[in-house]
Chain A
Amino acid sequence: DIQMTQSPASLSASLEEIVTITCQASQDIGNWLAWYQQKPGKSPQLLIYGATSLADGVPSRFSGSRSGTQYSLKISRLQVEDIGIYYCLQAYSAPLTFGSGTKLEIK
């Protein structure tokens, strides 16, 4: 199975700050990487698919990038509504695997 190592586990940042979350895949997954945001009591919301494509309705301050088998989610100017838990997902091959999550809080 492909392992997704996500870091950091938690993150506290100030409003308007740039925030970066990373996922390291245990093997090549191409661009088969998605990012999700989950708020308490809600279903996960797709933010990024194909490693770099912004999902419909997602603010442009969110962006995704790839360097080899390392994937990053960047929030360019942190807003209050961005608090939540973020997960990566590899969809390259079954079984699909999620990262362990990053809890983002406002400092």
Chain B
Amino acid sequence: QVQLKESGPGLVQPSQTLSLTCTVSGFSLTSNSVHWVRQPPGKGLEWMGGIWGDGSTDYNSALKSRLSISRDTSKSQVFLKMNSLQTDDTAIYFCTRWLAYWGQGTLVTVSS
């Protein structure tokens, strides 16, 4: 069945780079899109960006300058890298296939 699981550091220092991995199973990355969505504590959902089946990417306009999404199809993994983190980047980060199937999310706290 379709599964997605996010992994990465729970704590990141301000100004540092966040690296997250989404490991998927039950579907092919070459024929499905995977997106990253985040949710600050107590707030709403924000689409960050996605990588499409053909490998092309789209990003949230507000994050585009510091965000990168890539993948390794041989490992069924999608990666998120975001630099220059600040405290307001503290959030639960979700990966999702087609925004229909979602991982459980991973909490990232930005703090010194």
Contacts and interface: CB of A to CB of B under 8 A. Distances in A.
A91 B37 CA distance: 13
Contacts of A101: 44-45
Interface residues of B, number: 20
A94 interface: yes
Given A1-B61, A94-B58, A95-B60, A43 B47 contact: no
Given A43-B103, A89-B99, A100 B44 contact: yes
Given A43-B94, A43-B105, A96-B35, A34 B99 contact: yes
Interface in A23-50: 34, 36, 38, 43-46, 49
B104 interface: yes
B102 A96 contact: no
Interface residues of A, number: 22
B2 to A, nearest CB: 11
B46 A98 contact: yes
24 contacts: A1-B61, A36-B45, A38-B45, A43-B94, A43-B104, A44-B45, A44-B102, A45-B102, A46-B100, A49-B100, A55-B100, A87-B44, A87-B45, A89-B99, A94-B50, A95-B47, A95-B58, A95-B59, A96-B47, A97-B47, A98-B47, A100-B44, A101-B44, A101-B45
